[in-house]
Amino acid sequence: MATTSRTRAWSPGKTAAVAILAILGVLAIIAGIIYLIEPAKSLPSVLGTITSPPARANDIRPLRGLGSVILGVILLGIAGVASRPHRSSPQE
């Protein structure tokens, strides 16, 4: 009985989807870390700089940081699940 290997290359759409999900996940984690370690006045303008009142400008933004990290982990998890090969039952 001859055995054949059933290896299929990913479709271009699946490759692009996994790559985009992974990139977005990593970027979300990086943004979350920046939110957690930088005061609001030092954030890049893309992340929403706060300059006044001074009490808010010197604080970190833990809720946004934690949300970004959680979102990044979820996106990386989805990319990991999407990249796994499908198991099909053997056909005889």
pLDDT tens by residue, 27-52: 999 999 999 998 888 888 888 878 77
* Residue ranges covered by each domain of the chain: 13-18+44-84
pTM: 0.77
Q: Give dist(CA 82, CA 74) in Å, integer.
A: 12
pLDDT at 89: 56
Contact indicator for 66, 28 with CB cutoff of 8 Å: no
End-to-end CA distance of the chain: 11
